[in-house]
Amino acid sequence: MTMIISETLSLEQEFEHMVRRIQNTPKNKHSNNATLQETLALYGLYKQSAEGDVHGKRPSILNVTARAKYEAHKRLSGMPKTKAMQAYLDLVHKIEARGL
């Protein structure tokens, strides 16, 4: 049991560190390396890790950005927090391998 808890804390710490690092990266650097699909996937994985399943009403189709973000998060409904964190880290590493 202790091993599982320490592994979870380690994953959470790595996730939080990566989120801070990504948030402090200039926006133009992100847009040059991550595709739109990857950016939305990162958003959805972050929200699933931080908040769990999506809440609230689906935004209007006229609000394209909000709707895309909502859908990216909604696709991950039911995914456990630790799995979302690991998927987030894996995707960031994949993007970095291309030259972030």
Q: How far, in Å, CA of 63 to CA of 83, rounded?
A: 29
| Fold for the domain defined by 2-97 | Acyl-CoA Binding Protein (1.20.80)
pLDDT 10s digit of each residue in the chain, 100 long? Answer: 444 555 556 999 999 999 999 888 877 655 568 899 999 999 999 999 999 999 999 999 999 999 999 999 999 999 999 999 999 999 999 998 987 4
Which amino acid does the sequence have at 50?
Answer: A
Q: How far, in Å, CA of 93 to CA of 71, rounded?
A: 23
Instruction: Give residue 30's pLDDT.
Output: 53
Instruction: Give residue 98's pLDDT.
Output: 86
Instruction: Give residue 72's pLDDT.
Output: 98
Domain boundaries, the chain: 2-97
